[in-house]
């Protein structure tokens, strides 16, 4: 035997490499487990090599998504398992004896990660709980993801709760009684560092969620619908909380002045919220946040320009300029009532609103989606491009309803070629009805940007497609993809074999779409 195999870390690395690809496992009619793919190789090592035996078994059993593999280690006369479609039907044939656990106990302590996505038979779990040796099935479990949409077996989650759990994801879809699991979960799992709680409805869950949040002491990542002010202030003091996501909206009490002058969040670098107003409130309460990413997703309301101005001002005042690398704001707005044509001015985003973001010089990803779009000009775009030289992805996007015309021309697009050498994806509405002359200056040669590959023009107007293609290919020689708002729409209707006339697309917009696709064809021929 090679001396290197006496080093435990090397043996573990070898097993880890074998285990790295997606495994599969099945069983024979006799109930024995038959492993396939990488698991098969680990099983062979465990059976044939004393050097690899324990380490291979650890990797073999590390991650499970069913109890059946453990069950098949029990005597064949104990259960009857019918592996049909859906949930396997498990029937107990006799009482469980202590000796029946002898073989399963060899493997159960090796399981570190368990996913419950398709629940086992509730009767089976009930029987297992009555005859279980010890308090839990997997005593060394570190990662538990209970994501089953069926509430009938949720109360059996107690069989999997151990003090060693560090990563926990729960999907709660049933009655409020399921929330009781949260009441003392922090005490039962004091080592929790990564927590995600998903609830079908947040109504009536406020007190329980807040109490649970206040019990977390070492959490580094937390996803939760909502918490009260006391819980928020507790979270803000945690020294290791790096990622925080609120999937619900705060209650009206958050409009009041907080009990603390400001809340620090000393380690927070990733913040995600689902309400622009709540995001503004949280930022306003905070000290100088050293966020790297700030995401406002799934917005349920249509933000007015007043809301937007306050939010962007709060970012500028309360986020450290050198640290922020990603800002994502907006949603599809598919589930909200669109503003009327006479309300465009109420919702448009102008230069004065977006300029507070310009000092964030290290931004890499910016995606700002607003209902009717942006009222910007070439001068503003030039200043933006100069302010964000590290950009790799930029989207200034509007939704299709009452999409306001753009004052940004291809001159503005040229600014990104001059000042954003790393930009790969650009989404912006432009007025391409006229094409600027290609700049030829011996003292200041024309800039060529070599990374931009995709340009999304939404509902941009366009004049001569050939001239636009020549201009874009000159400054972005690697540009190959031109997308419009109607790319996805037309693709869906082509799948349904519907005619363009049935799409109810305004003739001018459909004509612009065809011209932009002609530009794309020309760019790909270069």
Query: Domain locations in the chain?
Result: 1-61
Compute the distance between CA of residue 500 and CA of residue 145 in angstroms, rounded to an integer: 46
Predicted confidence at residue 133, as pLDDT, reads 76
Residues 15 and 56: beta-carbon distance below 8 Å:
yes
Predicted confidence at residue 70, as pLDDT, reads 86
Across the range 478-495, mean pLDDT stands at: 79
What is the pLDDT confidence band of residue 337, given thresholds at 50, 70 and 90? confident
Across the range 301-320, mean pLDDT stands at: 93
More confident residue, 41 or 519: 519
**For the chain, what is the total number of helices (H) and then of strands (E)?**
18, 23
Q: How would you classify the pairing of strands 143-146 and 167-172?
A: parallel
pLDDT above 70: percentage of residues in the chain: 83
Predicted confidence at residue 45, as pLDDT, reads 76
**Averaged pLDDT score across all residues of the chain:** 85
Q: Which residues pair with 92 in a beta bridge?
A: 79
Predicted confidence at residue 415, as pLDDT, reads 96
Is the model's pLDDT at 336 over the cut of 80?
no
* Token digits of residue 332: 């599809």
Is the model's pLDDT at 131 over the cut of 80?
no
Own/partner long-range contacts of 158-162 (Cβ < 8 Å, ≥24 apart):
158/129, 159/125, 159/128, 159/129, 159/132, 160/114, 160/116, 160/136, 161/136, 161/185, 161/188, 161/189, 162/135, 162/136, 162/138, 162/189
Across the range 406-411, mean pLDDT stands at: 95
Angle at 12 between CA 10 and CA 15, to 5 degrees: 110
Predicted confidence at residue 28, as pLDDT, reads 46
Is the model's pLDDT at 30 over the cut of 90?
no
* Token digits of residue 254: 């958050």
Predicted confidence at residue 81, as pLDDT, reads 75
Residues 478 and 504: beta-carbon distance below 8 Å:
no
Highest mean pLDDT among 246-250, 335-339, 482-486, 496-500: 482-486
Is the model's pLDDT at 398 over the cut of 80?
yes
Q: For 188-225, how does the pLDDT look when each residue is reduced to its tens digit (9 = 90+)?
A: 999 999 999 998 766 667 788 999 999 999 999 999 99
Predicted TM-score (pTM) of this structure: 0.86
């Amino acid at each position: 035997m090679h001396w290197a195999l006496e080093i435990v870390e090397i043996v573990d690395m070898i097993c880890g490499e074998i285990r790295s690809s997606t495994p599969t496992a099945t069983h024979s009619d006799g109930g024995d487990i038959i492993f396939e793919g990488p698991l098969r190789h680990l099983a062979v090592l465990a059976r044939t090599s004393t050097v690899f035996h324990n380490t291979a078994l650890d990797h073999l059993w590390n991650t499970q998504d069913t109890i059946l593999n453990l069950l098949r280690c029990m005597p064949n006369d104990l259960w009857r398992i019918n592996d049909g479609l859906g949930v396997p039907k498990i029937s107990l044939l006799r009482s469980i004896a202590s000796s029946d656990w002898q073989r399963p106990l060899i493997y159960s302590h090796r399981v570190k990660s368990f996913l419950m996505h398709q629940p086992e038979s509730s009767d089976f779990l009930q029987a297992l709980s009555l005859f279980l040796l010890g308090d839990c099935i997997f005593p060394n479990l570190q990662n538990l993801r209970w994501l089953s949409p069926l509430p009938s077996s949720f109360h059996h989650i107690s069989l999997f709760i151990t003090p060693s759990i560090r990563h926990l994801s729960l999907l709660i879809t049933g009655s409020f009684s399921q929330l009781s699991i949260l009441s003392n979960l922090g005490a039962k799992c004091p080592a929790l560092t990564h927590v995600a709680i998903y609830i079908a409805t947040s109504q009536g869950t406020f007190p329980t969620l807040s109490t649970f949040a206040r019990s977390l002491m070492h959490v580094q990542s937390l996803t939760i619908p909502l918490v009260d002010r006391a819980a928020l202030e507790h979270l803000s003091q945690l020294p290791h909380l790096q990622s925080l996501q609120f999937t619900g909206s705060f209650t009206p009490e958050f409009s009041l002045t907080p009990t603390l002058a400001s809340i620090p969040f000393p380690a927070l670098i990733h913040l995600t919220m689902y309400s622009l107003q709540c995001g503004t409130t949280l930022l306003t309460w905070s000290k100088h946040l050293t966020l790297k990413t700030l995401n406002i997703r799934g917005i349920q309301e249509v933000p007015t320009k007043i809301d937007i101005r306050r939010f962007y001002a709060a970012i500028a005042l309360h986020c450290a300029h050198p640290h922020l690398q990603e800002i994502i704001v907006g949603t599809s707005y598919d589930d909200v009532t669109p503003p009327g044509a006479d309300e465009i001015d109420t919702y448009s985003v102008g230069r004065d609103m977006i300029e507070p973001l310009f000092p964030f010089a290290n931004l890499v990803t910016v995606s700002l989606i607003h209902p009717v779009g942006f009222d910007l000009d070439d001068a503003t775009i030039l200043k933006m491009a100069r302010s964000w030289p590290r950009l790799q992805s930029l989207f200034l996007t509007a939704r299709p309803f009452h999409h306001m015309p753009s004052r940004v021309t291809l001159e503005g697009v040229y600014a990104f070629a001059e000042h954003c050498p790393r930009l790969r994806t650009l989404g912006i509405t432009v007025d391409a009805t006229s094409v600027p002359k290609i700049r030829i200056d011996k003292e200041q040669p024309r800039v060529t940007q070599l990374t931009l590959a995709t340009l999304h023009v939404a509902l941009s107007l366009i004049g001569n497609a050939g001239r636009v293609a020549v201009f874009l290919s000159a400054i972005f020689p690697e540009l190959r993809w031109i997308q419009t708002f109607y790319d996805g729409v037309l693709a869906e209707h082509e799948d349904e074999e519907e005619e363009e006339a049935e799409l109810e697309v305004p003739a001018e917009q459909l004509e612009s779409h065809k011209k932009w696709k002609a530009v794309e064809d020309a760019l790909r021929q270069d």
